[in-house]
Chains A and B, each alone.
Chain A
Amino acid sequence: MSLLGALLVFLLFVQGANSLVYSLGRTEEGQRKVIESTGRKWEITFTTLVTFGGAFFASFPLFYSTSFGGAYWLWMIILFSFVLQAVSYEFQHSKGNLLGKRTYQWFLVINGIVGPLLLGGAVATFFNGSNFMVEKASLTDLDAPVISRWANGSAGLDALLDPWNLALGFAVMFLARILGILYIMNNVDDEDIRSRGSVRLVGSTIPFLVFFLAFFVRTLLKDGFAVDPATGAVFMEPMKYLHNYLQLWPLAVLTVIGVVLLLYGVARTIFSATYVKGIWPAGIGVVLVVLSLLLVAGWGNTAYYPSNADLQCSLTIANSCSSEFTLRTMFYVSLLVPFVFGYIAYVWRVMDRK
């Protein structure tokens, strides 16, 4: 799950590039090049998002039901933006598209901003908590058998009132832009786009660093949601996530490597007039950092989906995962994943050949 999540964040380069289509492409021709470039990859992001949802359903059905059913409006807004994206590539240039090319391009921009922002905000709730309650015994209440509920009427929108959720949301949004710029610079052979990209890279990197560092440092220093492995009771532990990184030190190493790769990819692209392969080190770096972050959220006796409404309703890997049988089945299925990556990589290589 964490690996899928990390890959999804990397693939948000599609959204990032789309959010900058009018900024990277000064002319209509430039804008066309940007959209055509992401147009060849958008389905992979989409598919990864859908697979992420399905995998969460299969592996952590209690998270799937609690989060999606509870944070209804948060997820609906995310989904609406992706619905708009799905049709916009195909429809924008088509005659008779009813809404005009500009409207579809703005749909791509909207998805490019809203998608990463809200997904980032949703991930932040892994560290900051959400307002939900779970009571499995409710299933035996004939009049009200629903076991999970949001503890207030906001249906998930209250997550956006927490500034630390917004911090990670904005961090992911700017990160998507960074990756989008790097991707476009690598994929589109256009001097004007590349030079504009270089400039905008600075404009996205600074806010990304501010928001991400603020979120990350605060997360390391704040109380975290620890689980007593013997009783399953959830309690607050000071600097829990820092302790997790220290105990699970390979994740800390991965994080450091990832950060270095990301900064290397960005810095070299900014300072070199000819280097356009920054997407590779930066992309790998992002995957490593996000993977580590997501693992730290749930490993080391930590409640990965904590409840602020009732601490003991928090979800842990143990109390929310599927049965061993299902997890084993999904493990066997996941053995196909390298094969899937293999043919995707092969096809991308073939299609990107000049």
Chain B
Amino acid sequence: MNHLLTIDPALIDWSRAQFALTAIYHWLFVPLTLGLAVVMGIMETIYYRTGKPFWRELSQFWQRLFGVNFAMGVATGIILEFEFGTNWSNYSWFVGDIFGAPLAIEGIVAFFMESTFVAVMFFGWDKVSRGFHLASTWLTGIGATISAWWILVANSWMQYPVGCEFNPDTVRNEMTSFMEVALSPMAVDKFFHTVTSTWIVGAVFVCAVSCWYLLRGREKELARQSIKVASLVGLVASLAAIHTGDGSAVMVAEKQPMKLAAMEALYDGGEGVGLTVVGALNPFAQPDYAQGGEMPLRIAVPYGLSILATHSTDGYVPGVNDLLNGYTRKDGTRELSAEEKMERGRNAIATLAEYRKVKAANANDSRLPQLAEQLKADMPYFGYGYIKDRAELVPYIPINFYAFRVMVGVGSLLLLFFIVIGFVAWRKDITRSGRWLWITAVAMLPLVYIASEAGWIVAELGRQPWAIQDMLPTVAAVSDLKAGSVSLTFFIFLVLFTVLLIAEVSIMCRVIKNYKSAQE
């Protein structure tokens, strides 16, 4: 029984929704794992160097919270590992030769490290030497970070596929350079930007919990020392995130210009384009970008977008309409129009069909080399062959626009926050500062999570309609399933993960509330 006589749009939507749901939930827990790992590692290093029981107790407290969160990260992660196969089987086949390798390497190199040494971290305090325990704590964090590396290599490859070539005989893309994949500039940028952002989450969490204690007049020494460590981590991470974010923007401008145009709601591009700070873009409908113009009440930093995208005040930044209608770049090369790309894509797909038909009839047919060359020439537009209307090529602009602003806005606010709280913690006495600072710290906690998720929303929604940029749209990437099955598993995941999230938060709140240090 062939479910997919034609692809049901509902299947695409539910499949995307399910992946988004599971990824968003996973990303609630992973940043805290990575961020707290750094804070815990520093604290235990201080214990190792000083031998003071206070630092051991402090490390154990944050490790307790780490453990609660770690379990949820693991639970939500296993689904993602297999979801490429369950819900995106065509994608898995089409690019698995390249995409599968980072996931497998992640398991072998990173997961085993994390899962082995986390047991020592939790249970080995009185079983192993201080040095071995400290190494285990750091190796847990390093394992988690290496895991992030490989996942981000995989995700970066979706945004900027490199190191591969299409094989018409096997009807799939095949890896030609592992180094190009593993060390792609997109992957390097994304890794540092993402990981430093997780350190921000960990630092904010520590500050928030510590300041909650200060609001209650409790655990002052825990709070004092924890905020000192966390504020430093947060400040360094914020500066690094800003620097790497700039690098990411340049990459996006070069490799995914439509994503940048959507992030900025830039309909018509140009040179010396301003960076929108705020504007009244209707969040509930795709804007009528074909009409051009700009959104109402737009406030922009002059030349800001050109500087961000090209590091030049007069750099050219294409808008949505330029990318759809085609334009000539500064170097004289031509960006094809949407219709031209779609035609080249259809040609590629038709050529592939012809190639396979000819080869099946006669493996030595003289037409085969020419067909292979023709296919190779049109291959950069293969994915466009499945696109039926140019509107499909434009991501949903409002979500990208606002998510980007939330991420940058909150990120900037957090930099200021760490400067202030760090100054108070290191140069004055945080336990005697005004309540306003403690309340601010607690308020930063939900904001940092919102900003963290907003970043991924830009990354993934800005890439639409592509599962693999230019190569495979989501419409051609799904599994042959009934939309009803996917909607049912969507709701099962929603209920399951929400219940477990509530349980986790409840447990963490109890741990925090019931904690009583030996110092008190």
Residues in chain A within 8 A of chain B (CB atoms): 40, 43-44, 46-47, 49-59, 61-62, 64-70, 72-73, 75-76, 79-80, 82-84, 86-87, 89-91, 94-99, 136-137, 139-140, 142-153, 155, 322-323, 325-326, 329-330, 333-334, 336-337, 340, 343-344, 347, 350-351, 353
Instruction: Name the residue in A97, A99, A151, A325 with the highest tally of chain B Cβ atoms < 10 Å from its Cβ.
Output: A325
Given known A-B contacts A87-B500, A95-B507, A97-B503, A65 and B93 have beta carbons under 8 A apart: yes
The CA of A67 and the CA of B74, in the complex, are separated in Å by 23
Which of A66, A84, A146, A333 interacts with B104 by CB under 8 Å?
A333
Given known A-B contacts A75-B86, A148-B93, A350-B124, A80 and B482 have beta carbons under 8 A apart: no
**Number of B positions contacting A (CB below 8 A):** 97
Closest CB-CB distance, B371 to chain A, in whole Å? 13
Instruction: Name the residue in B1, B5, B79, B514 with the highest tally of chain A Cβ atoms < 10 Å from its Cβ.
Output: B1
Are A61 and B116 in touch, CB under 8 angstroms?
no
Among the listed stretches B217-225, B347-355, B392-400, which one makes contact with chain A, having 4 or more residues with CB under 8 Å of it? B347-355
Instruction: Name the residue in A46, A54, A82, A344 with the highest tally of chain B Cβ atoms < 10 Å from its Cβ.
Output: A54
Are B111 and A50 in touch, CB under 8 angstroms?
yes
The CA of A142 and the CA of B81, in the complex, are separated in Å by 28
Q: Which of B74-111 contact A (CB under 8 A)?
A: 74-79, 81-82, 84-94, 96-101, 103-109, 111
Are A322 and B111 in touch, CB under 8 angstroms?
no
Are A57 and B84 in touch, CB under 8 angstroms?
yes
Are B90 and A145 in touch, CB under 8 angstroms?
yes
Are B112 and A340 in touch, CB under 8 angstroms?
yes
Given known A-B contacts A65-B85, A94-B510, A326 and B123 have beta carbons under 8 A apart: no
Q: Is B386 an interface residue (CB 8 A)?
A: yes
Which of B91, B113, B356, B503 interacts with A99 by CB under 8 Å?
B503
Are A80 and B78 in touch, CB under 8 angstroms?
no
Q: Is B211 an interface residue (CB 8 A)?
A: no
- Chain A residues closer than 8 Å to B118, beta-carbon distance: 43
Are B119 and A351 in touch, CB under 8 angstroms?
yes
The CA of A91 and the CA of B346, in the complex, are separated in Å by 53
The CA of A64 and the CA of B104, in the complex, are separated in Å by 12
- Chain B residues closer than 8 Å to A143, beta-carbon distance: 5-7
Closest CB-CB distance, A82 to chain B, in whole Å? 6
- Chain B residues closer than 8 Å to A155, beta-carbon distance: 481-482, 485
The CA of A13 and the CA of B67, in the complex, are separated in Å by 23
Q: How many A-B residue pairs have CB under 8 A?
A: 294
Given known A-B contacts A69-B85, A72-B485, A57 and B96 have beta carbons under 8 A apart: yes
Are B175 and A326 in touch, CB under 8 angstroms?
yes
Q: Is B491 an interface residue (CB 8 A)?
A: no
Are B480 and A70 in touch, CB under 8 angstroms?
yes
Closest CB-CB distance, A69 to chain B, in whole Å? 3
Q: Is B518 an interface residue (CB 8 A)?
A: no
Q: Is B174 an interface residue (CB 8 A)?
A: yes
- Chain A residues closer than 8 Å to B112, beta-carbon distance: 44, 47, 51, 340, 344
Q: Is B334 an interface residue (CB 8 A)?
A: no
The CA of A142 and the CA of B429, in the complex, are separated in Å by 66
